[in-house]
Protein backbone atom coordinates (compact mmCIF):
# COMPACT_ATOMS: atom_id res chain seq x y z
CA UNK A 1 0.00 0.00 0.00
CA UNK A 2 1.06 3.59 -0.64
CA UNK A 3 0.91 4.47 3.02
CA UNK A 4 2.28 7.58 4.67
CA UNK A 5 2.21 9.02 8.15
CA UNK A 6 0.49 12.35 8.32
CA UNK A 7 1.37 15.07 10.81
CA UNK A 8 -0.77 13.44 13.48
CA UNK A 9 1.06 10.13 13.23
CA UNK A 10 -1.96 8.26 11.87
CA UNK A 11 -1.33 5.76 9.11
CA UNK A 12 -3.18 7.21 6.11
CA UNK A 13 -3.23 5.76 2.59
CA UNK A 14 -3.12 9.00 0.65
CA UNK A 15 -3.59 7.32 -2.73
CA UNK A 16 -6.88 5.79 -1.57
CA UNK A 17 -7.91 9.04 0.10
CA UNK A 18 -7.39 10.92 -3.16
CA UNK A 19 -9.34 8.31 -5.12
CA UNK A 20 -12.29 8.29 -2.71
CA UNK A 21 -12.47 12.08 -2.59
CA UNK A 22 -12.36 12.31 -6.40
CA UNK A 23 -15.06 9.66 -6.76
CA UNK A 24 -17.27 11.39 -4.21
CA UNK A 25 -16.78 14.69 -6.06
CA UNK A 26 -17.78 13.06 -9.35
CA UNK A 27 -20.97 11.63 -7.81
CA UNK A 28 -22.07 15.13 -6.77
CA UNK A 29 -20.99 16.76 -10.05
CA UNK A 30 -24.49 16.42 -11.52
CA UNK A 31 -26.38 17.03 -8.27
CA UNK A 32 -26.30 20.49 -6.74
CA UNK A 33 -26.27 19.93 -3.00
CA UNK A 34 -23.56 22.18 -1.48
CA UNK A 35 -24.50 21.28 2.10
CA UNK A 36 -23.70 17.58 1.72
CA UNK A 37 -21.33 17.36 -1.24
CA UNK A 38 -17.71 16.17 -1.44
CA UNK A 39 -16.52 19.04 0.77
CA UNK A 40 -18.90 17.95 3.53
CA UNK A 41 -17.43 14.45 3.26
CA UNK A 42 -13.90 15.87 3.48
CA UNK A 43 -14.80 17.86 6.59
CA UNK A 44 -16.16 14.69 8.20
CA UNK A 45 -12.88 12.98 7.36
CA UNK A 46 -10.97 15.81 9.03
CA UNK A 47 -13.04 15.42 12.18
CA UNK A 48 -12.43 11.67 12.06
CA UNK A 49 -8.65 12.04 11.85
CA UNK A 50 -8.69 14.58 14.68
CA UNK A 51 -10.77 12.22 16.79
CA UNK A 52 -8.51 9.26 16.00
CA UNK A 53 -5.50 11.32 17.02
CA UNK A 54 -7.13 12.11 20.34
CA UNK A 55 -8.06 8.49 20.87
CA UNK A 56 -4.56 7.26 20.07
CA UNK A 57 -3.27 9.44 22.88
CA UNK A 58 -5.49 7.44 25.22
CA UNK A 59 -4.32 4.08 23.89
CA UNK A 60 -7.38 3.44 21.72
CA UNK A 61 -6.25 2.89 18.15
CA UNK A 62 -7.50 1.57 14.83
CA UNK A 63 -5.21 -0.50 12.66
CA UNK A 64 -4.43 0.38 9.04
CA UNK A 65 -7.24 -1.75 7.64
CA UNK A 66 -9.79 -0.27 10.04
CA UNK A 67 -8.72 3.26 9.13
CA UNK A 68 -9.16 2.36 5.45
CA UNK A 69 -12.68 1.11 6.17
CA UNK A 70 -13.48 4.27 8.13
CA UNK A 71 -12.24 6.33 5.18
CA UNK A 72 -14.50 4.35 2.82
CA UNK A 73 -17.52 4.87 5.06
CA UNK A 74 -16.84 8.60 5.40
CA UNK A 75 -16.63 9.27 1.66
CA UNK A 76 -19.78 7.33 0.82
CA UNK A 77 -22.10 7.92 3.77
CA UNK A 78 -24.15 10.74 2.19
CA UNK A 79 -23.71 9.85 -1.50
CA UNK A 80 -27.23 8.40 -1.44
CA UNK A 81 -28.46 12.00 -1.35
CA UNK A 82 -27.61 12.12 -5.06
CA UNK A 83 -30.53 9.69 -5.48
CA UNK A 84 -32.95 10.75 -2.75
CA UNK A 85 -33.25 13.50 -0.13
CA UNK A 86 -35.02 11.08 2.20
CA UNK A 87 -33.72 10.47 5.70
CA UNK A 88 -33.36 6.87 4.52
CA UNK A 89 -30.60 7.85 2.07
CA UNK A 90 -28.13 5.60 3.89
CA UNK A 91 -29.55 2.59 2.05
CA UNK A 92 -28.84 4.25 -1.30
CA UNK A 93 -25.40 5.29 -0.09
CA UNK A 94 -24.60 1.66 0.67
CA UNK A 95 -25.70 0.57 -2.80
CA UNK A 96 -23.50 3.21 -4.41
CA UNK A 97 -20.54 2.04 -2.32
CA UNK A 98 -21.18 -1.61 -3.16
CA UNK A 99 -21.10 -0.73 -6.86
CA UNK A 100 -17.81 1.13 -6.35
CA UNK A 101 -16.30 -1.88 -4.59
CA UNK A 102 -17.44 -4.23 -7.36
CA UNK A 103 -15.82 -1.99 -9.94
CA UNK A 104 -12.61 -1.56 -7.91
CA UNK A 105 -11.93 -4.95 -6.28
CA UNK A 106 -8.21 -4.31 -5.81
CA UNK A 107 -8.70 -1.26 -3.58
CA UNK A 108 -10.49 -3.14 -0.79
CA UNK A 109 -9.55 -6.83 -1.14
CA UNK A 110 -10.66 -7.45 2.46
CA UNK A 111 -14.15 -7.57 3.97
CA UNK A 112 -15.78 -4.15 3.75
CA UNK A 113 -18.82 -5.23 5.77
CA UNK A 114 -18.22 -2.90 8.75
CA UNK A 115 -17.96 0.10 6.42
CA UNK A 116 -21.09 -0.85 4.49
CA UNK A 117 -23.01 -1.26 7.74
CA UNK A 118 -21.78 2.14 8.93
CA UNK A 119 -22.80 3.82 5.68
CA UNK A 120 -26.32 2.43 5.82
CA UNK A 121 -26.89 3.12 9.52
CA UNK A 122 -24.96 6.35 10.12
CA UNK A 123 -28.17 8.31 10.79
CA UNK A 124 -29.77 5.55 12.86
CA UNK A 125 -28.56 6.42 16.34
CA UNK A 126 -30.71 3.71 17.87
CA UNK A 127 -28.62 1.17 15.96
CA UNK A 128 -25.57 2.03 17.99
CA UNK A 129 -24.62 0.07 21.07
CA UNK A 130 -23.16 3.03 22.89
CA UNK A 131 -20.85 1.14 25.19
CA UNK A 132 -20.41 -2.04 23.19
CA UNK A 133 -16.95 -3.38 22.40
CA UNK A 134 -18.25 -5.05 19.24
CA UNK A 135 -15.52 -4.29 16.66
CA UNK A 136 -18.08 -4.18 13.87
CA UNK A 137 -19.65 -1.15 15.56
CA UNK A 138 -16.45 0.90 15.86
CA UNK A 139 -16.57 2.29 12.31
CA UNK A 140 -20.25 3.13 12.73
CA UNK A 141 -19.66 4.88 16.06
CA UNK A 142 -16.89 7.10 14.73
CA UNK A 143 -18.68 7.91 11.46
CA UNK A 144 -21.92 8.80 13.25
CA UNK A 145 -20.15 11.11 15.68
CA UNK A 146 -18.05 12.87 13.05
CA UNK A 147 -20.99 13.33 10.70
CA UNK A 148 -22.90 14.94 13.56
CA UNK A 149 -19.97 17.27 14.23
CA UNK A 150 -20.33 18.79 10.78
CA UNK A 151 -23.89 19.78 11.71
CA UNK A 152 -22.43 22.19 14.28
CA UNK A 153 -20.71 25.53 13.71
CA UNK A 154 -21.26 28.07 10.91
CA UNK A 155 -21.21 25.49 8.09
CA UNK A 156 -23.81 23.49 10.00
CA UNK A 157 -26.11 26.51 10.03
CA UNK A 158 -26.26 26.51 6.23
CA UNK A 159 -26.26 22.72 5.96
CA UNK A 160 -29.37 22.46 8.12
CA UNK A 161 -31.22 25.26 6.34
CA UNK A 162 -30.57 23.83 2.89
CA UNK A 163 -31.56 20.22 3.53
CA UNK A 164 -34.60 21.11 5.65
CA UNK A 165 -35.93 23.59 3.11
CA UNK A 166 -35.43 20.99 0.36
CA UNK A 167 -37.48 18.61 2.49
CA UNK A 168 -40.30 21.19 2.35
CA UNK A 169 -40.08 22.37 5.94
CA UNK A 170 -41.51 25.93 5.98
CA UNK A 171 -38.94 28.66 6.62
CA UNK A 172 -40.79 29.86 9.73
CA UNK A 173 -40.50 26.37 11.23
CA UNK A 174 -36.74 26.05 10.65
CA UNK A 175 -35.49 27.26 14.06
CA UNK A 176 -37.71 24.95 16.13
CA UNK A 177 -37.08 21.93 13.89
CA UNK A 178 -33.34 22.52 13.76
CA UNK A 179 -32.92 23.20 17.48
CA UNK A 180 -34.77 19.99 18.32
CA UNK A 181 -32.59 17.94 16.00
CA UNK A 182 -29.44 19.66 17.24
CA UNK A 183 -30.27 18.80 20.85
CA UNK A 184 -30.65 15.13 19.91
CA UNK A 185 -27.37 15.16 18.00
CA UNK A 186 -25.44 16.73 20.86
CA UNK A 187 -27.04 14.38 23.37
CA UNK A 188 -25.83 11.48 21.24
CA UNK A 189 -22.30 12.85 20.85
CA UNK A 190 -21.90 13.75 24.52
CA UNK A 191 -23.14 10.28 25.53
CA UNK A 192 -20.07 8.75 23.87
CA UNK A 193 -17.91 8.50 26.97
CA UNK A 194 -14.97 7.24 24.92
CA UNK A 195 -14.54 10.64 23.25
CA UNK A 196 -11.64 12.65 24.76
CA UNK A 197 -12.91 15.49 26.94
CA UNK A 198 -10.88 18.18 25.18
CA UNK A 199 -12.19 17.05 21.78
CA UNK A 200 -15.78 17.15 23.02
CA UNK A 201 -15.27 20.60 24.58
CA UNK A 202 -14.07 22.01 21.26
CA UNK A 203 -17.17 20.81 19.45
CA UNK A 204 -19.51 21.76 22.26
CA UNK A 205 -18.54 25.36 21.52
CA UNK A 206 -19.52 24.81 17.87
CA UNK A 207 -22.83 23.35 19.06
CA UNK A 208 -23.43 26.47 21.17
CA UNK A 209 -22.61 28.59 18.13
CA UNK A 210 -25.36 27.12 15.95
CA UNK A 211 -27.94 26.91 18.74
CA UNK A 212 -27.43 30.62 19.49
CA UNK A 213 -27.90 31.45 15.80
CA UNK A 214 -31.21 29.59 15.47
CA UNK A 215 -32.41 30.61 18.94
CA UNK A 216 -32.00 34.25 17.88
CA UNK A 217 -34.16 33.53 14.83
CA UNK A 218 -37.00 32.44 17.13
CA UNK A 219 -37.27 35.68 19.10
CA UNK A 220 -40.61 37.47 18.54
CA UNK A 221 -39.22 40.29 20.71
CA UNK A 222 -35.83 42.04 20.64
CA UNK A 223 -33.07 41.24 19.83
CA UNK A 224 -35.07 41.64 16.63
CA UNK A 225 -31.98 42.81 14.76
CA UNK A 226 -30.26 39.47 15.28
CA UNK A 227 -33.34 37.67 14.03
CA UNK A 228 -33.44 39.79 10.90
CA UNK A 229 -29.73 39.48 10.13
CA UNK A 230 -29.66 35.70 10.68
CA UNK A 231 -32.70 35.32 8.45
CA UNK A 232 -30.98 37.40 5.78
CA UNK A 233 -27.86 35.20 5.97
CA UNK A 234 -29.86 32.02 5.40
CA UNK A 235 -31.97 33.56 2.63
CA UNK A 236 -28.87 34.96 0.93
CA UNK A 237 -27.21 31.53 1.03
CA UNK A 238 -30.21 29.85 -0.58
CA UNK A 239 -30.58 32.57 -3.22
CA UNK A 240 -26.90 32.85 -4.15
CA UNK A 241 -25.40 29.42 -3.45
CA UNK A 242 -28.17 26.86 -3.72
CA UNK A 243 -30.35 28.53 -6.35
CA UNK A 244 -27.60 30.75 -7.73
CA UNK A 245 -24.11 30.20 -9.11
CA UNK A 246 -21.98 31.45 -6.20
CA UNK A 247 -19.75 28.82 -4.59
CA UNK A 248 -19.80 28.62 -0.83
CA UNK A 249 -16.25 29.97 -0.38
CA UNK A 250 -17.07 33.10 -2.39
CA UNK A 251 -20.30 33.43 -0.44
CA UNK A 252 -18.39 33.31 2.85
CA UNK A 253 -15.98 35.94 1.55
CA UNK A 254 -18.76 38.27 0.48
CA UNK A 255 -20.50 37.95 3.87
CA UNK A 256 -17.18 38.57 5.62
CA UNK A 257 -16.81 41.83 3.66
CA UNK A 258 -20.28 43.01 4.67
CA UNK A 259 -20.64 46.42 6.31
CA UNK A 260 -22.83 44.78 8.94
CA UNK A 261 -20.64 43.56 11.83
CA UNK A 262 -22.87 40.57 12.66
CA UNK A 263 -22.73 39.35 9.06
CA UNK A 264 -19.02 40.05 8.80
CA UNK A 265 -18.22 37.99 11.90
CA UNK A 266 -20.33 35.11 10.63
CA UNK A 267 -18.62 35.28 7.23
CA UNK A 268 -15.18 35.16 8.85
CA UNK A 269 -16.15 32.18 11.01
CA UNK A 270 -17.65 30.36 8.02
CA UNK A 271 -14.64 31.02 5.80
CA UNK A 272 -12.23 29.74 8.44
CA UNK A 273 -14.24 26.57 8.98
CA UNK A 274 -14.46 25.89 5.25
CA UNK A 275 -10.74 26.43 4.71
CA UNK A 276 -9.86 24.28 7.73
CA UNK A 277 -12.12 21.60 6.27
CA UNK A 278 -10.02 21.39 3.12
CA UNK A 279 -6.68 20.82 4.84
CA UNK A 280 -6.31 17.30 3.43
CA UNK A 281 -6.79 18.49 -0.17
CA UNK A 282 -3.05 19.15 -0.36
CA UNK A 283 -2.33 15.46 0.13
User: Does residue 138 share a domain with residue 20?
Assistant: yes
> Each residue of 31-41: b (16+ CB within 10 Å) or e?
eebbbbbbbbb
Domain end, chosen from 115, 147, 179, is at 147
Domain count, the chain: 2
pLDDT the model gives residue 236: 97
Specify whether the CB–CB gap between 121 and 140 falls below 8 A: yes
CATH number of the CATH domain containing 114: 1.10.3210
Q: Which of these, 180, 190, 182, lies nearest to 208 by C-alpha position?
A: 182
Q: In whole angstroms, what is the distance from residue 283 CA to residue 112 CA?
A: 24
Burial class, 150, CB count within 10 angstroms (exposed 0-12 / middle 13-18 / buried 19+): buried
3-state secondary structure (DSSP) of residue 55 = helix
User: Does residue 141 share a domain with residue 21?
Assistant: yes
3-state secondary structure (DSSP) of residue 195 = coil
Q: Tell me, rounded to whole angstroms, the distance of Cα 19 from its chain centroid.
A: 19
Domain span at 207: 151-283
If you average pLDDT over residues 30-37, what whole number do you get?
Answer: 93
pLDDT in tens, 180-237: 999 999 999 998 888 999 999 999 999 999 999 999 998 766 566 888 999 999 999 9
Say what the pTM is: 0.90
Domain end, chosen from 98, 123, 147, is at 147
pLDDT the model gives residue 6: 43
Domain end, chosen from 147, 176, 204, is at 147
3-state secondary structure (DSSP) of residue 111 = coil
User: Does residue 218 share a domain with residue 201?
Assistant: yes
Specify whether the CB–CB gap between 200 and 190 falls below 8 A: yes
3-state secondary structure (DSSP) of residue 6 = coil
pLDDT in tens, 109-159: 889 999 999 999 988 766 664 445 566 688 999 999 999 999 999 999 999
Amino acid sequence: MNTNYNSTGLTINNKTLSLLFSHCKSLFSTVHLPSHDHLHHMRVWNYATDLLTGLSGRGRTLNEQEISLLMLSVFFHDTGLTKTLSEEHGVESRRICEKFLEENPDIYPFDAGPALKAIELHDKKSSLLLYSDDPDMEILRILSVCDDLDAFGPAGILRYAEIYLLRDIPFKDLPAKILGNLARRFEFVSAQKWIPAEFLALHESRYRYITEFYSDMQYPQPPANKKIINTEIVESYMDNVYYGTTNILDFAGSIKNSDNRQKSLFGADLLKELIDGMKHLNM
